[in-house]
């Protein structure tokens, strides 16, 4: 799906206030930095930054980045508030609605689209776009206007067990692989009697919209007023997911879909290929006697890797947009930010110059970490509507019906499409 289709999906969505909790009331248990690292002078401006990305152990890392920014920008004082993710977006809605929102805010992609569509974010005119990986920057460009910058990202790759491939006498996956290559390998690698499975890819909304893109399909029509995923490309994508169940991939009866099932299966050496995110690198690296690596995910008619991105934006209500934009750029692309994020294993910075990511790329396993960066060459972002969770649940439910044989793929997709269109109105 094109970025423009994503952005148009919410042009008529109004911001809703789902709770009457004031922003400050949600700060219990959060870390707040309000002294700016020094005494504010008469020529200083103060900007406020509210975020969730530092919550859970990286508050001190964020503080060090802010301190470095203030040292280079003595005319700016930054007040920081860190909120738990569970509280963050309710608090943010309340703050926007009440006119008390901070100058700089964290947003994941889905919420970025919502706020950008409703004019709540400022255009970023003083940020250098060349600092960022193009596909990541594009995620925070709304209808051709830069309204946020990426702060951190993760994506999905193909993780594979090298020992199982060696035992089967198969070549390892490469970036040139297609679905047909993966399908053929999975059939050879599967040994149900030995409890070995060739492939694992959840039959779910997130895997479907990615497979749809890999087949050249579109989730919505051009102006995003109608779901269109039940066409031939959608049927091909859903079939690719559903046909694995019980043949080269475990079924629900085997435990598929239960918490940590796929993780444990791979760590136990009983899964040859796994479509999953780079967040699993750490637990796999800690698993003894497991020889594994990664590749860019296979595509069908084209490549499309799932991208999950968190960004930062400046509120359109900010009275200090120039200072806020300086901070946004420093927070996401400066040497201090990149080095701090990598040294603390906080997040993978979104910078265009991959030489700056050497500390990450040189780590092993996996040996082929370059595949993480290569996957950014062709990405797909989640389709977004106001009733986001309902849409995701509908598509996953109907795909589950097809996987369990309760409906044909064609009927399940048509039913899902009709239900999503009902959400769109």
| Residue 56 shares a structural domain with residue 19 | yes
The answer as to whether 44 is a domain residue is yes
What is the number of domains present in the chain? 2
pLDDT at 406 (0 to 100): 95
Q: What is the pLDDT averaged over residues 143-170?
A: 97
Q: Are 375 and 305 in contact (CB under 8 A)?
A: yes
* 64 contact partners, CB below 8 Å, separation of at least 6: 336, 340
pLDDT at 42 (0 to 100): 62
| Residue 413 shares a structural domain with residue 385 | yes
Supply 105's token pair: 């805010």
| Residue 55 shares a structural domain with residue 26 | yes
The answer as to whether 107 is a domain residue is yes
| Residue 267 shares a structural domain with residue 323 | no
Percent of the chain with pLDDT strictly greater than 70: 90
| Residue 261 shares a structural domain with residue 410 | yes
207-241 burial, b at 16+ Cβ within 10 Å, e below that, comes to: bbbbbbbbbebbbbeeebeebbbbeebbbbbbbbb
**Mean predicted lDDT score pLDDT of the chain:** 91
pLDDT at 32 (0 to 100): 53
The answer as to whether 375 is a domain residue is no
Residue with the bigger pLDDT between 9 and 99: it is 99
pLDDT at 257 (0 to 100): 87
| Residue 166 shares a structural domain with residue 300 | yes
pLDDT at 61 (0 to 100): 98
| Residue 199 shares a structural domain with residue 278 | yes
| Residue 278 shares a structural domain with residue 417 | yes
pLDDT at 40 (0 to 100): 47
Query: Residue 246's domain spans which residues?
Result: 155-305+381-424
Q: Are 240 and 300 in contact (CB under 8 A)?
A: yes
98-127 burial, b at 16+ Cβ within 10 Å, e below that, comes to: eeebbbbbbbbbbbbbbbbbbebbbebeeb
pLDDT at 34 (0 to 100): 53
Reported as a single tens digit per residue, the pLDDT across 24-75 is: 333 333 445 555 444 445 689 999 999 999 999 999 999 999 999 999 999 9
Q: What is the pLDDT averaged over residues 286-307?
A: 97
| pLDDT for residue 284 is more than 90 | yes
The answer as to whether 41 is a domain residue is yes
Residue 93: which CATH number? 3.40.190.10
The answer as to whether 372 is a domain residue is no
| Residue 203 shares a structural domain with residue 241 | yes
pTM for the model stands at 0.89
| Residue 328 shares a structural domain with residue 274 | no
pLDDT band at residue 186 under the 50/70/90 scheme: very high
Percent of the chain with pLDDT strictly greater than 90: 88
The answer as to whether 51 is a domain residue is yes
Burial classification of residue 175, based on how many CB atoms lie within 10 Å of its CB (0-12 exposed, 13-18 middle, 19 or more buried)? middle
pLDDT at 43 (0 to 100): 85
| pLDDT for residue 411 is more than 80 | yes
| Residue 317 shares a structural domain with residue 281 | no
Q: Looking at 39-48, 125-134, 220-229, which range is the least confident one?
A: 39-48
Distance CA 300, CA 215 (A): 5
Longest dimension (CA), the chain: 75
The answer as to whether 376 is a domain residue is no
| Residue 344 shares a structural domain with residue 260 | no
pLDDT band at residue 19 under the 50/70/90 scheme: very low
Helical pair 321-333 and 335-343, crossing angle rounded to 10 deg: 40
* 264 contact partners, CB below 8 Å, separation of at least 6: none
The answer as to whether 371 is a domain residue is no
């Amino acid at each position: 799906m094109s970025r423009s289709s994503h952005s148009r999906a919410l042009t008529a969505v109004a911001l809703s206030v789902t709770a009457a909790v004031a922003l400050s009331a949600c700060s219990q248990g959060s870390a707040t930095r309000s002294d700016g690292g020094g005494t504010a002078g008469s020529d200083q401006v103060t900007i406020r930054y509210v975020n969730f990305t530092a919550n859970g152990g990286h508050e001190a890392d964020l503080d060090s980045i802010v301190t470095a920014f203030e040292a280079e920008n003595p005319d700016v004082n930054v007040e920081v508030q860190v909120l738990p993710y569970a509280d963050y977006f309710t608090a943010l809605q309340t703050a926007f609605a009440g006119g008390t929102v901070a100058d700089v805010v964290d947003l994941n992609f889905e919420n970025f689209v919502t706020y950008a569509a409703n004019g709540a974010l400022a255009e970023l005119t003083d940020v250098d776009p060349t600092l960022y990986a193009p596909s990541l920057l594009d995620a925070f460009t709304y209808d051709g206007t830069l309204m946020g910058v990426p702060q951190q990202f993760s994506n999905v790759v193909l993780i594979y067990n090298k020992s199982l491939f060696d035992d089967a006498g198969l070549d390892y996956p490469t970036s040139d692989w297609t679905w047909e290559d993966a399908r053929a390998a999975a059939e050879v690698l599967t040994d149900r009697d030995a409890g070995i499975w060739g492939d694992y890819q959840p039959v779910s909304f997130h895997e479907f919209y990615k497979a749809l893109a890999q087949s050249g399909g579109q989730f919505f029509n051009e102006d995003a007023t109608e779901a269109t995923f039940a066409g031939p490309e959608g049927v091909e994508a859903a079939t690719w997911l559903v046909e694995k169940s019980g043949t080269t991939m475990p079924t629900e009866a085997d435990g598929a879909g239960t918490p940590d099932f796929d993780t444990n299966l791979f760590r136990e050496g009983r899964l040859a290929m796994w479509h999953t995110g780079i967040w699993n690198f750490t637990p796999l690296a800690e698993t003894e006697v497991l020889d594994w690596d990664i590749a860019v995910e296979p595509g069908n008619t084209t490549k499309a890797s799932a991208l999950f991105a968190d960004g930062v934006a400046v509120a359109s209500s900010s009275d200090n947009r120039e200072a806020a934009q300086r901070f946004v750029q420093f927070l996401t692309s400066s040497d201090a930010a990149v080095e701090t994020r990598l040294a603390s294993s906080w997040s993978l910075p979104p910078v265009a110059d991959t030489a700056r990511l050497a500390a990450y790329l040189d780590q092993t396993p996996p040996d082929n970490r370059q595949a993480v960066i290569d996957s950014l060459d062709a990405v797909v972002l989640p389709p977004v509507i106001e009733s986001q969770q309902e849409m995701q649940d509908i598509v996953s439910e109907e795909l589950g019906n097809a996987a369990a044989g309760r409906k044909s793929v064609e009927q399940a997709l048509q039913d899902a499409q009709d239900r999503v269109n009902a959400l769109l109105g």
